[in-house]
Every structure is written in structure tokens, then in C-alpha cells.
Amino acid sequence: MKNTNPIASEAIDPVVLTAIDWMVRLDNGHASADVKAGFDHWIAANDRHRQAWQEMTRALQPASQLQSAQHQSPAQLSVIREVLSAPPSPQRRRLLNGMALVFVGLGTAYLLKRSPTGMALSADITTSTAERKTVILADGSQLTLDAESSIDLHFSAGKRLLTLHSGACIVQVATDPTRPFTVATAHGSVTALGTRFMVRRQPDRSLALVLQHSVMLAAGEQQQPLSENESAWFDSKGISPEREDMHSYAAWEDGVLDVRNQSLGEVVEALRAYRKDYLRVSPAAAQLRVFGVFQLDDAERSLRTLAQALPIRITHYGPWLTLIDSR
């Protein structure tokens, strides 16, 4: 194997993609007799079809094993689900941050981009992929949500509490001296002191950026006021003030991704909330530095612009997968 382009070996066999299509069609819970007949026909048509199907089935073996274990003792299901639903702890994940080398070294070239968002299950207000939304709340405050965001509202006589589960929001707070206005994430809380500010929740930490006046930031044991134009990262351990101008992090409000010397990996992460397909970026390409302003609402054009400016190649596999690798 040559080292020049390990990515070329990663090209996905179209027969496997077809096998996946069939699996999803058969799996949906009420596949019609026609679909089943179509599948029988497909798999009998060619040895390679049968082989790809077996490869898929083999890949999924651990899941089948767990399903049959659960038939023997049904109460196991809830236990297994609980265990598997918990993501790896952050310090374990961090160990994998330098992993690009392994994948390149072994000739398996793509790192999977993880979604920055959490679950959007019970949230009061959510936005879907490529959707931004502005709402006026009961107290007259204005709330703007970025794509793939979800937020819960708890308004009572004594408080106005917004819980941001995923994505980002910008709030323009209506004055009400009797009821403090707070945006909380799993990492801490930001309380308005008459103001406009942004909160973005990332998997391992959150960002607060004050656009007007000031806020009180609380995380872990720490508490700290932030004034206009100031920003800070926070998590359950505490607060780390950010010295850089972070206004570009609020540019999504205008439908713009404003990038100043970030890695392509980070840019792709930001674009994911605006694309329905699965973006995979090769480790080599993820490290390229990017400068520029991109239109979020035309993420396809943004990708093309990136491809013109950077030594990358973009390949679409149907409507649900896009690969980015270095040329």
C-alpha cells in the first residue's frame, strides 16, 4: 500500500451502500411484501450482493447478541440501554484527541465528526437542521435559537429560567427587577443584569458572550461578572475567561459563519447543524487552517467555497453522506 493517499483505500463500495438502503427499508417495522420480494430479488441477483449483506450482518453482531440476551432475561434490556446510552467520560475521550495518526498510520483514513448537540427530547423550543428561530417570550424578552438547538422555559413568579440543552441562543432580556433572567446549561448559569447575551452549549463546556451591558456567570464553585464584549468558557469545574474577541461566535444570528484562523475540523463542526447529511472529514484535512465568512443558509455553497480555497476534495454519497479529504 502506498502512503501518498491512504484515503483512496477508504472509498465505500456502492454495493454496501445499497445493502444499507435495504436494511433500513426492511427494518422500518412494516415493510410490505413488495419490499421483501424486491430484497429477495436483489440478494439473489449477485454473489457480491449476498456478500455485502453478510458483511453488514456480521458488523451488527454485538447488537443482535444483546437483543437475544434480552429475550432470555427481559429485565436486562433496561440495564443494557442505560449502560450504552451513557457516553464515554470526557477525560477518556480526550485521550483520543491525538488519534488522527493512528487512522492515517493504519490506512483507515476518516475520523468521524461527532455531533456537537445533545438530545432534543423534552425541550419546549427546538430548531431543526438549518433552521434558526426568533420568538418573543411571555415577559417580552426576545429569544433567538441557532440551528439544532433546544431549550426549556421555566417562568414563575420569582424567576425566569431557560435551560439550554444543545446549540446556542441569544437573548434580549426585558427588564423585570422582581424576576432574574437566567440561561443555564449542564455546565453553569448566566444571569442577566439587564442585557443581551449569547450562550452556546458544547458537549464538554459552554460559552457565554455578553453583547450588551453585563451578566453574572456561575459555574462550579465560582461566580464572576462579565461586561459588554467579554466572554468566558465555563463547565462544572469553573470559569475560564476568554481574552480573544469572540463576536464571531455570535455571527450565526445573521446567518453567517465568521471564521478567523480556525481548523477545518471546527468549521465542519459548525456547518453540521446546517446540513442534513453526515459530514466526515479526514484527519489531514481537519487540520487545515481556515479564514473567511461563509453563508450558513447555503451550506452547500460554503463547502464549494472551501473546496476552492483549500486543497481538499469533497465527495457526495447520495443525500446522506459527504466526505471531505485532502488532495
Between residue 55 and residue 84, which ones bind another protein under the rule CB under 8 A? 55-56, 58-67, 69-70, 72-73, 75-84
- In one letter, which amino acid is 279? L
Could you identify the residue written with the cell 442534513? 276
The nearest distance, CB 34 to another protein, in angstroms, is: 17
Nearer to another protein, 79 or 136 (CB): 79
Nearer to another protein, 109 or 246 (CB): 109
**Gap between the Cα atoms of 40 and 37, Å rounded:** 5
Coil, helix or strand at residue 327 = coil
**Gap between the Cα atoms of 275 and 210, Å rounded:** 28
Q: How many residues make contact with another protein (CB under 8 A)?
A: 72
Residues 26-45 that bind another protein (CB under 8 A): 27-30
Question: What single-letter DSSP state applies at residue 158?
Answer: S
| Pairing relationship of beta strands 256-263 and 312-317 according to DSSP bridges | unpaired
Q: Which of 24, 45, 135, 136 binds another protein (CB under 8 A)?
A: 24
Q: Are 118 and 151 in contact (CB under 8 A)?
A: no
Q: Are 313 and 288 in contact (CB under 8 A)?
A: no
Residues 172-211 that bind another protein (CB under 8 A): none
Which residue in 269, 309, 323 sits closest to 9, CA to CA? Answer: 323
Q: Which of 7, 39, 49, 118 binds another protein (CB under 8 A)?
A: 118
- In one letter, which amino acid is 169? C
Residues 246-305 that bind another protein (CB under 8 A): 276-278
By CB under 8 A, residue 120 contacts another protein: yes
Q: Are 151 and 143 in contact (CB under 8 A)?
A: yes
Q: Which stretch binds another protein (CB under 8 A): 51-59, 137-145, 152-160, 291-299?
A: 51-59
Nearer to another protein, 71 or 243 (CB): 71
By CB under 8 A, residue 3 contacts another protein: yes
By CB under 8 A, residue 48 contacts another protein: no
